[in-house]
Amino acid sequence: MRIAVIGAGSWGTAVSWLLGGKGHDVGLWAREPEIAEGINADHRNPIYLKDVVLPECVTASHDIEAALSGAEAVVMVTPSMGVRTTAESMRPHLGSEIPVLILSKGVENGTSMLMTEVLTDVLGSRERIAGLSGPNHAEEVSKGVPSATVVAAYEERVGRLFQDAFMTRSFRVYTNPDVVGVELCGAAKNVIAVAAGMSDGLGYGDNTKATLMTRGLAEMARLGSHLGANPLTYMGLAGVGDLIATCTSKHSRNRGLGEHVAHGGSVASFEAETHMVAEGAFSCISVHELGKREGVELPITHQVRSILHEGAPLSDATEALMGREARDEWHGMGLVED
């Protein structure tokens, strides 16, 4: 297939390596001209995953029309806050039937739309839209480390198409019709990972991180259940699988952001040092607003937002979370009487 990959950061580079390794003809769009030039000259991204050698069937362009030319499928790998504007740039050059897979994880600020909903709003035809999410660090996928993921699509044929496109002996792909659940997992787990990183930075132990992850999963599932997601999705790759990877890995930029902030840093200084976007820094705002709109309590998300964007001390968050009213473990999940 001719596949356009929109976004040439770490994940976009890893995806291009994977798809190119399967023999797909990959047109990679890079926002920065120097990245496109570097890839075409040396088959390496000069900024992200510099050690990864891209197959010759991967060609890069700073021109989004050129990257989309002849594409039979599109894979979007841009930061969530740029999905709408990037999709608007794609629209004049994209046929109305071309399937689009979004790998970005987040909820749009202001609209509370999931990424597939943003694409539907801009591109139309919800049936051709799908999302991919799972415990997939780009650094490991690009080395062929055994990994698995899930594709969630509104139409089974679209899910199967991307399943076939991505499946390799080292990258196993499952399908799931629960688009809402898979996408909410991807957005919300990044916020919990920031909290886990803060715990690491404060020197708390395994008990604390396990508590944050478990109660974070309950928080994620509480919101998903309210919005009609399948509870089993939260037990799968997009839920607990991605949560484990993002909260514990040295590769996790969200966990890294939390640790950085616990040591006195900020969102801005983290981005300046790493040249990467930690989606949890923005998802804590949009997920919190979504929960507020729906009347769903998200205490960890609330505390992460307060610390990152309102200057609240980390000590206040610890006291607030540990001092909450005693209640049943499944409170708000619809499993017991509240």
| Catalytic residue IDs | 189
Provide the edge-to-edge strand list for the sheet that holds 129-133. Answer: 58-61, 25-29, 2-6, 73-76, 100-102, 129-133, 147-153, 171-176
Judged by phi (left if over 0) then psi (alpha if -120 to 50, else beta), residue 71 lies in beta
For residue 105, give Cα distances in angstroms to 134, 166, 260, 281, 300.
Answer: 10, 18, 21, 12, 18
Residue where the block lists tokens 């769009």: 29
HSE-up (13 A, CA, CB side) for residue 67: 27
Residue where the block lists tokens 């039979």: 72
Helix (H, G, I), strand (E, B) or coil at 210: helix
Residue where the block lists tokens 């040249």: 275
For residue 139, give Cα distances in angstroms to 50, 135, 211, 232.
Answer: 10, 12, 27, 28
69: tokens are: 């030319």
How is residue 52 annotated by DSSP? Answer: P
- Report the distance separating Cα 134 and Cα 52, nearest Å: 21
284: tokens are: 């804590």
Closest CA to 61 of 36, 31, 89, 32: 36
Please give the sequence-ordered ranges of beta strands (E in DSSP) within the chain, or none if there are none.
2-6, 25-29, 58-61, 73-76, 100-102, 129-133, 147-153, 171-176
262: tokens are: 């616990």
